[in-house]
């Protein structure tokens, strides 16, 4: 395998916020403008994602290069797909001083950028990295609920719905407030919420920050019939 050598190129992983173009920071837009290549994550081949929609809104004339990040649990297969695409894109990437990769939400929270970094390091071992945070989905969801996440000495937990159910229950029981990402992955969320409650407030936000798509559900409705992947549940004890 050929290893590509460069002076210190930089891969910039940037958070675009939860979905609204208005919630993208000025820092993100400035770094994107100063990057020679913008890679755009796609979860499905030839299907425009939310990150691409946001970037195209702010930079309609820029070339956005799609990079498929398959939504599969087989991490080895996923990494091979990402690595293969990067190899094919090296003629475009190898002379770029800055390579920009935007992700939905906060770049430091469940970020697909982590997978890109590992693949990029195999091709450009001395590449540098920079991270630009973005507004998280749970921050926007809390604002939608008009309720502070936590105050004083309260404990706030961020929970992936893909975690073991016993672990999810254990964390919920010791948390004053919790945010559950990817709730569609939990088989019996009603049972878990009932066993770890009672809760003073429960809300679910689908497509947080996405104009004409955002929906807010409260109480029992928030934990029933969850079908949207881009959902987040907030619970207050």
pLDDT tens readout for residues 13-59: 999 999 899 999 999 999 999 999 999 998 876 677 889 999 999 99
Bigger pLDDT: 185 or 48?
185
The predicted pLDDT at position 33 comes to 97
% of the chain exceeding 70 in pLDDT: 96
* 85-121 pLDDT tens trace: 999 999 999 889 999 999 999 999 988 899 999 999 9
The predicted pLDDT at position 73 comes to 77
CB 236 within 8 A of CB 176: yes
Mean pLDDT (whole number) for 55-65: 95
% of the chain exceeding 90 in pLDDT: 76
Q: What is the DSSP string of 9-30?
A: -EEEEEE-BSS-GGGS-HHHHH
* 107-165 pLDDT tens trace: 999 888 999 999 999 999 999 999 999 999 999 999 988 999 999 999 999 999 999 99
The predicted pLDDT at position 132 comes to 97
The predicted pLDDT at position 1 comes to 44
The predicted pLDDT at position 7 comes to 56
Residues 6+ apart with CB under 8 A from 90: 4, 123
Short-list 90, 95, 92, 76, CA closest to 123 = 90
Residues 6+ apart with CB under 8 A from 129: 10, 11, 12, 13, 117
The predicted pLDDT at position 26 comes to 96
Buried/exposed code over 106-143 (b: 16+ C-beta within 10 A; e: otherwise)? bbbbbbbbebbbebbeebbeebeeebbbbbbbbbbbbe
Measure the CA–CA gap between 8 and 15, rounded to whole angstroms. Answer: 22
The predicted pLDDT at position 2 comes to 42
The predicted pLDDT at position 142 comes to 92
The predicted pLDDT at position 49 comes to 86
Is the pLDDT at 3 greater than 60? The verdict is no
């Amino acid at each position: 395998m050929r290893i590509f050598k460069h002076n210190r190129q930089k891969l910039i992983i940037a958070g675009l916020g939860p979905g609204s173009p208005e919630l993208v920071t000025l820092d993100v837009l400035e770094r994107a403008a100063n990057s020679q290549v913008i890679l755009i994550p796609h979860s499905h081949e030839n299907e425009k994602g939310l990150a691409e929609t946001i970037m195209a809104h702010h930079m309609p004339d820029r070339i956005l290069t799609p990079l498929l990040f398959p939504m599969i649990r087989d991490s080895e297969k996923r990494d091979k797909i990402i690595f293969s695409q990067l190899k094919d894109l090296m003629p475009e990437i190898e002379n770029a001083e800055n390579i920009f990769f935007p992700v939905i939400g906060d770049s430091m929270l469940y970020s697909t950028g982590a997978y890109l970094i590992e693949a990029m390091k195999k091709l450009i071992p001395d590449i540098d990295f920079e991270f630009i945070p973005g507004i998280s989905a749970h921050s926007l969801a809390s604002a939608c609920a008009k309720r502070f996440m936590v105050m004083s000495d309260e404990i706030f937990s961020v929970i992936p719905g893909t975690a073991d159910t016993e672990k999810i229950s254990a964390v919920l029981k010791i948390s004053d407030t919790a945010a559950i990402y990817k709730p569609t992955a939990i088989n019996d969320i009603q049972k878990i919420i009932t066993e770890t409650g009672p809760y003073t407030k429960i809300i679910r936000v689908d497509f947080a920050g996405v104009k004409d798509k955002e929906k807010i559900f409260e109480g029992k409705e928030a934990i029933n019939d969850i079908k949207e992947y881009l959902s987040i549940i907030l619970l207050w004890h």
